[in-house]
């Protein structure tokens, strides 16, 4: 089996396992939408809206191929204009502000004869619980350490730098891991990439189960909606997956499934000094080592 076929099969498996687990936790079913891309390929988008726990979430599989534009091809490794890409991408926006938003993506891209893996996961809390951030990071450190002693420090730093809103001078959340253009030993890299995808649920579901029963305040909800606005800003300005999808003629509904359902953009919002919101912002402006 070719590397791209192995990658495609794996991300389908990851999507299926995550959707099944989330349906059990939320108690509601995902809406499944199978689509085809003009120019080659297609995908399967699974979306949940107005769930018991998840206010909006999506777990998207795609496998697309075709011809790159001359302009966009200059931004990618490899040669020629023919490309292939497959991956699973998810974003979950919980209703309760005590439960963090989470994003994960695992992809394989090929241009000409050059192929590489990318992906990662990051956590966006609205109320900071250090033990939740520690759990999330520990799972990813364990995954990385099984495959290379330098992976975690390298990918944690990459995540902190990537999920950073330069115009706000703050991170989107408390990070995780991020990697791209991994093209070393194909089999070993595939094993790491697949292992990471298989451990998303372990990194996130224990946090959901710990926080979902907690009561929240209206001020916490309003802060959550403001912070969701930062999420929108990142995805529309900086996110590579969004740019890749738009530049390669991807399906708009699937590309923009990551955007939250309700967002507030008040003018110049302020937080009280020494408040929980202020403490979270301190962390977002200065990334920390959580493990």
In sequence order, what are the residues at sequence separation of 6 or more whose Cβ sits closer than 8 angstroms to the Cβ of residue 101?
91, 92, 93, 94, 123, 124, 125, 126, 173, 228, 231, 260
Distance in angstroms (rounded) separating the CA atoms of residues 221 and 205 = 21
N-terminal to C-terminal alpha carbon distance within the chain: 38
Other residues' Cβ atoms within 10 Å of the Cβ of residue 213? 9
Distance in angstroms (rounded) separating the CA atoms of residues 290 and 131 = 9
Burial degree of 259 (CB within 10 A; 0-12, 13-18, 19+): middle
**Residue found under tokens 């966006």:** 124
Give me the catalytic one of 103, 135, 137, 152. Answer: 103
What's the angle, vertex CA 101, arms to CA 97 and CA 104, rounded to 5?
Answer: 170
**Under 8 Å between Cβ of 116 and 91:** no
Burial degree of 20 (CB within 10 A; 0-12, 13-18, 19+): exposed
- Residue 103 annotated as catalytic: yes
Closest to 199 measured CA to CA, from 130, 255, 146: 146
Catalytic positions: 103
């Amino acid at each position: 089996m070719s590397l791209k076929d192995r990658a495609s099969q794996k991300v389908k498996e990851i999507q299926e396992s995550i959707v099944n687990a989330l349906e059990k936790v939320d108690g509601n079913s995902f809406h499944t939408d199978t689509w085809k891309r003009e120019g080659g390929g297609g995908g399967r988008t699974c979306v949940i809206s107005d769930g018991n726990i998840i206010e909006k979430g999506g777990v998207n599989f795609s496998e697309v191929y075709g011809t790159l534009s001359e302009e966009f091809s200059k931004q990618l490794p490899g040669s020629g204009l023919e490309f292939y890409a497959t991956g699973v991408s998810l974003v979950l926006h919980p209703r309760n502000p005590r439960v963090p938003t989470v994003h994960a993506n695992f992809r394989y891209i090929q241009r000409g004869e050059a192929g590489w893996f990318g992906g990662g996961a990051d956590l966006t809390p609205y109320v900071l619980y250090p033990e939740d951030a520690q759990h999330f990071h520990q799972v990813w450190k364990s995954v990385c350490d099984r495959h290379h002693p330098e992976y975690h420090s390298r990918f944690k730093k990459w995540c902190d730098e990537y999920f950073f809103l330069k115009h706000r001078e703050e991170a989107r959340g408390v990070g995780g891991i991020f990697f791209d253009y991994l093209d070393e030993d194909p089999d070993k890299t595939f094993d790491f990439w697949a292992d990471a995808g298989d451990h998303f649920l372990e990194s996130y579901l224990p946090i959901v189960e710990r926080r979902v029963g907690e009561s929240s305040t209206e001020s916490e909800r309003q802060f959550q909606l403001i912070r969701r606005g930062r999420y929108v800003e990142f995805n529309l300005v900086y996110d590579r997956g969004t740019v890749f999808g738009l530049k390669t003629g991807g399906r708009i509904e699937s590309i923009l499934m990551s955007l939250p359902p309700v967002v507030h953009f008040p003018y110049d919002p302020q937080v009280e000094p020494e408040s929980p919101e202020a403490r979270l912002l301190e962390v977002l402006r200065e990334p920390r080592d959580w493990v």
